[in-house]
A and B are shown apart, each in its own frame.
Chain A
């Protein structure tokens, strides 16, 4: 495997890790409910 191919794979893997990170963070026990509060608050009368 040459340098370019390693780089491509590395970047692809890195981006995938970021994506998994976002999903895990969004659905983590700590944030799970917090991340849904906005959708109820936006229904308040204005």
Chain B
């Protein structure tokens, strides 16, 4: 039979291939991206954001960065709320990626202020010394093509205004990529929901620590804070920290939960011990410098 008839074998092979294809590839179209998946607050990309997304694709950022947070403890702690199907309905193509050479970006939007992204895209190693991400400072020299972007919006059937298109004329590729990164995962109000409520009285367990402790705690500062507040707390993207005069408890709250609207990320994933150590470190030098004056 099919041992001798190639056409029959081709037909049977196609049939065998189509069974699994039908069940796992075709049938899901009936339930995925339907009304059941929809999230009302998820909006299509603006012209600038969509162009940023296309640049992300052009540069192959997805070769090193994923965009999907799995519902696993360590992952939700590190990146934020796990990803929902309805958050991706405007993504053509999807950009979930398959390898995290760099961190996941699904919840990046709103984590840092724009200035952080500009500086980081210019030169990642100026902020994160041992990063292996290439520099993208050259983005600043490339203007955008409003006509082309308008055509993209038409093809995607996304809403836009004439004002949004004309505003593109004096933007460059760097503006676009930053606008895109700031949109990622921010359409659902997860940051507010993930905020930790600090209950009861809190007090610094490391209060009164001596100089000998400070070196180890300075490393925590350098790894997590120095990129924005400067190596010597002189301030850069974030404010100067010398002479800030916060109480221990106040400082702890700011670092632990961040300032969601002020561009200060939450550092609760460090755990309360490390946050207290940073608080103690900051206070120690604040007071020391106060003595010098």
Contacts and interface: CB of A to CB of B under 8 A. Distances in A.
Interface of A: 15, 34-35, 38
A38 B3 CA distance: 10
Interface residues of B, number: 2
Contacts of A34: 3
Contacts of A15: 19
Interface string B1-37: 0010000000000000001000000000000000000
Contacts, number: 4
A38 B19 CA distance: 29
Contacts of B3: 34-35, 38
Nearest to B23: A11
A15 B19 CA distance: 10
B20 to A, nearest CB: 10
A35 B3 CA distance: 8
A35 B1 CA distance: 11
Contacts of A35: 3
A5 B19 CA distance: 18
B46 to A, nearest CB: 42
A15 B22 CA distance: 14
4 contacts: A15-B19, A34-B3, A35-B3, A38-B3
Contacts of A38: 3
Closest 4 CB pairs of A and B: A35-B3, A15-B19, A38-B3, A34-B3
Interface in B186-202: none
Nearest to A25: B1
A27 B3 CA distance: 14
A23 B3 CA distance: 14
A2 to B, nearest CB: 17
Nearest to B3: A35
A35 B4 CA distance: 11
A15 B3 CA distance: 21
A13 to B, nearest CB: 14
Nearest to B19: A15
B16 to A, nearest CB: 9
Contacts of B19: 15
Nearest to B16: A18
Nearest to A38: B3
A19 to B, nearest CB: 11
A15 B23 CA distance: 13
